[in-house]
């Protein structure tokens, strides 16, 4: 039996397919340059073994939300350890970065609050805003001047939250956090920094951009996600005890979610320990990605303002990006083709993610194949 609504849904999918925007699930083939396992820790034996031992010791699940029976001691011990690692008063574990951003933004931004939002922020931050009903101010990407103009328009006594990313996942560029911190102080705003793509890579011991710039006392909340450089899953928010207590009481994605398994929490800590110890991993990522950027930019390829292990190859149209992906796949490389609405219309691209698992000769060959293909267009 076919229901009437199915025709409507089918037509929407057909339109996406016509536009070249239909998504489907696939498995990487060849050398993978699409994933976020920047430090190559997803298959690290020591981390996997610690998680496996914890599953045996503590069980497969947490059994409930942390406020209703799911608060295992390993959560509190790990949060204390992570807070000490980051140098903050407190920390709070979330199931993932999306869940954390949803909970943080919606918790602090009620209908009277003002959210100042970089136009290229991740969807999870704007989805948190949609839940909050607050007043949104979108400022130009990485523009302190535009942010200040927006801040000047808000009532001086109103609650103001500035939400930015440290490294932007589709452009690979770095936020001007020092200028944002100065503006937050000047206008009495809270500054929240999502370090999803900078933690593990930047800063002393991989502590992120906030630590690299010495802004620990000026950034009020920061987020680490463990499903990227740390190769596991889960997320953790860092800040003062006051702010963390507020989230425990108001972040709906925390309050109403079954907690992640204790084994996952153990893996989070072990991944940080391994990352901090094995400095060669981040050193390799930064060196190889810098060499890759130099080679392709010297050949005239546009990789926007990338300064990190995330290197976009701007191709413009969806068709051009898809054909370039297909060419590279024939050459043995798996890349991510990023299309609207994930990126603005007219900026379809390949996103090349450099990992500690990549060999220099393979990255060099990727650069050569990219240069050959784009110059042949």
Quickly list DSSP for 182-221: HHHHHHT-EEEEE-TTTTTTSSGGG--HHHHTT-TTT--E
Co-location of 32 and 99 in the same domain: no
| Catalytic positions, written as ranges | 36, 122, 165, 169, 194, 197, 228
- Residues 268, 97: Cα–Cα separation, whole Å: 13
Residue 122 lies in a domain: yes
Co-location of 66 and 206 in the same domain: yes
Confidence (pLDDT) at 1? 59
- Residues 55, 62: Cα–Cα separation, whole Å: 10
Show the low-confidence residues of the chain (pLDDT under 70).
Answer: 1-3
Q: Tell me, what CATH number does 308's domain have?
A: 3.90.1150.10
Confidence (pLDDT) at 173? 97
Q: Would you tell me how many other CB atoms lie within 10 Å of the CB of residue 81?
A: 15
Find out whether 104 and 221 touch, Cβ atoms under 8 Å. yes
The torsion defined by the Cα of 304, 21, 235 and 65, in degrees rounded to 10, comes to: 160
Co-location of 99 and 55 in the same domain: yes
Domain residue limits at 269: 45-277
Q: How far is CA 121 from the centre of its chain?
A: 10
Confidence (pLDDT) at 178? 98
pTM metric for this prediction: 0.93
Confidence (pLDDT) at 21? 78
Residue 78 lies in a domain: yes
The torsion defined by the Cα of 74, 80, 83 and 87, in degrees rounded to 10, comes to: -150
The number of distinct structural domains making up the chain is 2
Q: What is the pLDDT of residues 318-373, one digit of tens each?
A: 999 999 999 999 999 999 999 998 899 999 999 999 999 999 999 999 999 999 99
Co-location of 244 and 122 in the same domain: yes
Confidence (pLDDT) at 335? 96
């Amino acid at each position: 039996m076919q229901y009437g609504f199915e025709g409507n849904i089918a037509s929407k999918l057909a339109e996406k397919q016509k536009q070249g925007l239909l998504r489907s699930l696939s498995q990487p083939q060849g050398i993978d340059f699409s994933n976020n396992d920047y430090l190559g820790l997803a298959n690290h034996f020591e981390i996997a073994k610690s998680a496996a031992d914890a599953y045996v010791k503590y069980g497969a699940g947490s059994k409930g939300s942390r406020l209703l029976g799911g608060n295992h001691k390993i959560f509190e011990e790990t949060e204390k350890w992570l807070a000490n690692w980051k140098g903050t008063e407190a920390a709070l574990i979330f199931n993932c970065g999306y869940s954390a951003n949803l909970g943080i933004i919606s918790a602090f931004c009620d209908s009277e609050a003002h959210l100042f939002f970089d136009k290229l922020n991740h969807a999870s931050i704007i989805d948190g805003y949609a839940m909050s009903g607050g007043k949104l101010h979108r400022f130009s990407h990485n523009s302190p001047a535009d942010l200040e103009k927006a801040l000047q328009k808000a009532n001086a006594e109103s609650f103001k939250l500035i939400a930015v990313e440290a490294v932007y996942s589709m452009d690979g560029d770095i936020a001007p956090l020092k200028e944002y911190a100065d503006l937050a102080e000047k206008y009495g705003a809270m500054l929240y920094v999502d370090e999803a793509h900078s933690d593990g890579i930047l800063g002393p011991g991989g502590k992120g951009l906030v630590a690299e710039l010495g802004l620990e006392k000026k950034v009020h909340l920061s987020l680490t996600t463990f499903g990227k450089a740390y190769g596991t899953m889960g997320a953790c928010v860092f800040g003062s005890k006051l702010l963390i207590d507020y989230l425990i009481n108001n972040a709906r994605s925390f309050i109403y979610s079954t907690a992640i398994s204790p084994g996952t929490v153990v893996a989070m800590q072990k991944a940080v320990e391994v990352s901090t110890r094995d400095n060669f991993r981040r050193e390799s990522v930064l060196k190889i990605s810098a060499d890759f950027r130099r080679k392709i930019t010297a050949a005239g390829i546009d990789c926007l303002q990338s300064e990190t292990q995330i290197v976009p190859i701007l191709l413009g149209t969806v068709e051009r990006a898809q054909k370039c992906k297909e060419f590279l796949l024939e050459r043995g490389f798996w890349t991510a083709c990023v299309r609207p609405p994930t990126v603005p219309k007219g900026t379809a691209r390949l996103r090349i993610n450099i990992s500690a698992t990549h060999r220099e000769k393979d990255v060099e060959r990727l650069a050569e194949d990219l240069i050959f293909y784009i110059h042949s267009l």
